[in-house]
Amino acid sequence: MLVAPNVKAMLFTDWDGTVTIQDSNDYMTDNIGFGEERRKELNRLVLEDKMTFRDSFTEMLKSVKKPFPECIEYLKAHVELDPGFADFYKWSVEAGLPVIIVSSGMKPIIHALLTKLVGQHAADSIEIVANDVDVHPDGSWDIVYRDESGFGHDKSRCIKPFAELPDESRPMLFYAGDGVSDLSAAKETDLLFAKVGRDLITYCEREGIPYHVFHSYKDIHEKIKAIVEGKETIAGAIENKDKASALASHH
Ligand SMILES: [Mg+2]
């Protein structure tokens, strides 16, 4: 991962349900796989530590039988972009703030959607760190996980090299996410943006992980801009400060 020296801040972002409105993997599972009820049951088991994200996700995707190229077309027809992302991305390029997509989804799907929803510049410029896919000659497919972890893609691994930089060269690190696929990254950055009403908030509340709630990328845009320009602080942006510090001192 190449990042220019003297970068002041970086944003790592989940893709599905964070940059997009619909989670593409949930959307396929719910509509052309085994359905929402079973999917939510598996999400619950992951949140309760009774199943790994990797095993639950494999089961969900196995229930989707559509050939891979058709899955991409299906998602291009149904998945929408967060209403604030395009403006945020434009600002991030002007401000020299790198945006890196860290996803448990599959790279070819993200790349196709990014091209369609944000444009060729974004698709050529934004680094995508994600799982991959093995498409067989008949169009059937299997997800190929990025690592051996129970997450399939342990998102903390691409953040840590930046988090561990010496203070004088370490950028401010932000993360934005919404769900169970973000549990592996939730504690790694200086400020976590968690989407309102989603599983990641449930997890942060329970574990006492500090976060700032967002409704759309407009909120993330405003907050990061204010912090980078020195008008607000990271500490001031944390919503569950009392609970987070109480739980932290308890451990
Ligand atoms: Mg997500």
What is the number of structural domains in the chain?
1
Report the pLDDT value the prediction gives residue 251, as an integer from 0 to 100: 45
6-18 pLDDT, tens digit per residue, is 789 999 999 999 9
Under DSSP, the state recorded for 167 is: G
Spacing, Cα 246 to ligand 1 middle (Å): 28
Q: 199 an active-site residue?
A: no
207-227 pLDDT, tens digit per residue, is 999 999 999 999 999 999 999
63-100 pLDDT, tens digit per residue, is 999 999 999 999 999 999 999 999 999 999 999 999 99
In a domain, 36, yes or no: no
Spacing, Cα 168 to ligand 1 middle (Å): 32
Spacing, Cα 18 to ligand 1 middle (Å): 6
Domain span at residue 162 reads: 9-22+82-250
Residues 208/247, Cβ–Cβ less than 8 Å: yes
Spacing, Cα 89 to ligand 1 middle (Å): 18
Q: 87 an active-site residue?
A: no
Q: From the candidates 16, 23, 26, 182, which is the catalytic residue?
A: 16
**Cα separation, 222 vs 3, whole angstroms:** 23
In a domain, 111, yes or no: yes
Spacing, Cα 54 to ligand 1 middle (Å): 14
1, pLDDT greater than 80? no
Spacing, Cα 230 to ligand 1 middle (Å): 29
In a domain, 222, yes or no: yes
248, pLDDT greater than 50? yes
Spacing, Cα 178 to ligand 1 middle (Å): 5
**Cα separation, 30 vs 43, whole angstroms:** 13
CA distances from 197 to 76, 153, 155, 194, 203 (A): 25, 24, 22, 9, 11
Q: Which residue has the tokens 């944003």?
A: 11
In a domain, 14, yes or no: yes
Report the pLDDT value the prediction gives residue 240, as an integer from 0 to 100: 83
**Cα separation, 228 vs 8, whole angstroms:** 8
In a domain, 206, yes or no: yes
Q: From the candidates 14, 23, 26, 154, which is the catalytic residue?
A: 14
Q: Give me 145's structure tokens.
A: 């996980």
User: 128, 127, 162: which is closest to 5 by C-alpha?
Assistant: 162
Give Cα 205 distance to the centre of its chain. Answer: 18
Q: Residue range 48-75: average pLDDT?
A: 96
In a domain, 43, yes or no: no
CATH of the domain at 90: 3.40.50.1000
**Taking every pair of C-alpha atoms in the chain, what is the biggest distance, in angstroms?**
55
**Cα separation, 11 vs 196, whole angstroms:** 19
Q: Residue range 140-169: average pLDDT?
A: 95
Pairing, β 172-177 against β 9-13: parallel
pLDDT bracket for residue 2 (50, 70, 90): low
**Cα separation, 178 vs 193, whole angstroms:** 8
Q: Residue range 93-118: average pLDDT?
A: 97
User: 68, 82, 70, 66: which is closest to 23 by C-alpha?
Assistant: 82
174-211 pLDDT, tens digit per residue, is 999 999 889 889 899 999 999 999 999 999 999 999 99
**Cα separation, 51 vs 55, whole angstroms:** 7
In a domain, 106, yes or no: yes
**Cα separation, 98 vs 1, whole angstroms:** 11
In a domain, 168, yes or no: yes
